[in-house]
Amino acid sequence: MSDGADPAMDALLDCARFGFDDRWAAYYRAAARTDDSKRAAINGSLAAVVRDVPLLLGLFLLLDVRDATTSVRIARDAVNQKRRNHGHPPLLDHVEVRASLERLPTAQESGQTHGGRRASRLHHVRGHLVRRGSLIFWRSPHVRGRASLGAVRTRTVCLAFERRPVAHVCPATR
């Protein structure tokens, strides 16, 4: 599979190999009797996963870079005490993973407050599932944070990369 419009993607895909699980391969051999139907089955299956490869490679690289990620335990002690006082179930503690390839800010620079977490600006939270023990709850969309710290209008992030000629050489295959 190749992408003529994106040579960087082609270089990455040259380093990847795809194959069917034995049971799926047997299924497609039996179901796809003509060359065209075999080609359609292979292309359809690849199209569903091939674009995930660069994303996974980037994630693995980021996880492997020493000191690029930091884990911060988010304790909900103060909030949970208030929730218990009002008869609400406690929120779960969790770990927040932050990734940065630049210098990480100090606690003073990031404006951290009680509990080691900085106060959040006013922002919209999408509806999502929350698990507490063996129970699963739906949290409806809502607004969270303090307007006095500003407001987040969008979470859209646009990445742009320079187009440079890329050599189609994969060190792993040599």
56-99 confidence digits (pLDDT tens): 887 777 767 666 677 778 888 888 999 999 999 998 888 777 76
The pLDDT, as a whole number, for residue 86 is 94
In angstroms, the CA 153 to CA 110 distance is 20
120-168 confidence digits (pLDDT tens): 888 888 888 888 888 888 888 888 888 888 777 766 656 566 665 555 4
Closest CA to 76 of 117, 106, 38, 44: 117
Evaluate the CA torsion angle 35, 12, 54, 154 in order and state its sign.
negative
In angstroms, the CA 65 to CA 57 distance is 12
109-118 confidence digits (pLDDT tens): 445 555 566 7
Does 105 score more than 50 pLDDT? no
Do the Cβ atoms of 122 and 151 come closer than 8 Å?
yes
> What residue ranges do the domains of the chain occupy?
7-63, 65-110
Q: What's 83-140 look like in SS3?
A: HHHCCCCCCCCEEEEEECCCCCCCHHHHCECHHHCECCEEEEECCEEEEECCEEEEEC
The pLDDT, as a whole number, for residue 116 is 60
Task: Show Cβ contacts of residue 143 under 8 Å, excluding neighbours closer than 6 positions.
Answer: 122, 123, 124, 125
Average pLDDT, integer, range 33-37: 89
Question: Residue 83, CB half-sphere, CA atoms under 13 Å: how many?
Answer: 10
Helix-helix angle 7-14:52-64, to 10 degrees: 70
pLDDT band at 3 (very low <50, low <70, confident <90, very high): low
Task: Give the H/E segment covering residue 81.
Answer: helix 77-85
Evaluate the CA torsion angle 138, 123, 97, 82 in order and state its sign.
negative
